[in-house]
Each structure stands twice: as C-alpha cells, then as structure tokens.
Structure 1
Amino acid sequence: MASEGTKENPWKLKTPPMTSEYEMYKDVKDDKEVIICVVGKTTLLYDARCLTDLQTMLKEHGDWMDLGSADEQKPAKDGTVEAWGRSENNPVGGWYGLKKGLRGRFGMYVPPLMEKLGLAEVTHEAKNNKMRAK
C-alpha cells in the first residue's frame, strides 16, 4: 500500500467544523512541491512549504489564531491564518494558493492537514475556528 499523502492514498480530512470531507496529497508540479486539495469536483493547489512556514509563524505567534477562511475574491480578515496565507509579508511574499481564482480557502483546508500531521491543534466549532502550533 502506498504511504499516506500520495495520489494513490491521499489524506482524508474534514473541514474544521467537521461538516465537509476532502482529500489532500503531495505531488510535484512545474518542479515545485505542492499539496493538491480535492474538494468534490474542485482541485486547489498550495505551495507545500506552507506547512513549515505556517507552523513557524504560529510558534512565533504563541497563541490561538483565528482561521478566517475566505474565497480568493473576498478580503481576508486581518490577523487570521487566511490573511497570513496571502500576505506580502509571509515567507513566499504572497499567496500560498497556486491556482488563480482558487487561491483562497487557505484557512479552511490547510489547518486540518497540519492537525493530521501533528504540527498544530485546530478547534472544531460550528464557526470561528482557531489553530495553534504544537
């Protein structure tokens, strides 16, 4: 059996409120390591370095941080994981989402993977979820 986190054996995850299921796996696209996120018939791509960069930022933050998930076309609430995932001040200087038009929702789909990998804790309320580094 393929190791978990591959196209053949993706991580099976649920959104922070535990209402929707989706899958993620690592791959290489255009010589860049990426995380592919499959939600229903929609596929999103994230720069794989987001996992270590986000954990580092959360450790420096030192406390719970709101997820603040938002679509690319909507502004992200300041001080949230979503805002950091698109900020010019993060380590990649902008979006970790790589698929134009679908670069948002960083605060929805990346935190559960971080939790699965043991890199962070995530709350699972109906709304206003948060995360912190482990």
Structure 2
Amino acid sequence: MLKTLGAGLIAASALPAMLASAGIASADDYAGQKYSDVMSALGDAGLTGVIATRTGDLVDDDDCMVTHSEKAPWLKGDDFSPVTDTVLLFLDCDAGVASAKASGNSKASPEGRAAMAEAKKEAQQEQQQAAADQAKAKH
C-alpha cells in the first residue's frame, strides 16, 4: 500500500512539470514591436495572433506596442491536442510619451526616450520634405 501511495505521489508531483512543457512555451520574440509588424510577422510564419490584454486606448491597434507574447496554452479537439499555431499578444496602447492630456511612458524611461527620438526623427523628415516641396514649387 505504501509503495502504491508513494508511486502515486511521484506521478502527481511530475504532472505540473509535464503540463508546463506541453505548450506553455515563451514566444517573447515580439515584445517591443508594433502590433501591425507583429501580425505581419506572425502571418508570414503561418501563425495567428490573438490579443490577450490591452492597456490604454490612445492609439489604434496597429500602433499599439506588444509588451509580452506567449504561445497559447490551449487544447483542442476530442484528442486534446495542443494548439501550436496561436500566439497571445499583450498590448500597450498608451501614447509613446505622457503629456498633460494623455497617459504614456515617462520621458526619462527607455521607452519614452525611444518614442521621443522617433518623434524627433519623423519631425525632421517632415521638415525636409516640406522644404523640398517648397523648393520644387519655386521652380
């Protein structure tokens, strides 16, 4: 009886480890990327992206940042086979940098500095394009 009980306890203690390795693997290759870019990459890889959570509502889905991703831990069908083609995406849809009117990242955070650098780059490109358009209009 004790042998049977001991074997049962060993089997029961191994179950969580087996379940954890059966499809709850990390797929955090997408963290820090825009949702639209991630969806494109997933489509190219034959995978499906599903929004698991979303914080904020200041930007469109396509412009949200993926903060975390993971393979879906779901089972399907009568044989309970693991779902292998779905990735759960956790989105941050706040503004790149916080302002008096909108929540977002601190200007001092790495994310805030990156957003400010990107905005500065875009503004410079717009100024260059406007100057080129103005020069073209004069001729």
Larger radius of gyration: 2
**By the TM > 0.5 criterion, same fold?**
no
> Normalization by structure 2: what TM-score?
0.23
Structure with the higher strand share, 1 or 2: 1
> Normalization by structure 1: what TM-score?
0.24
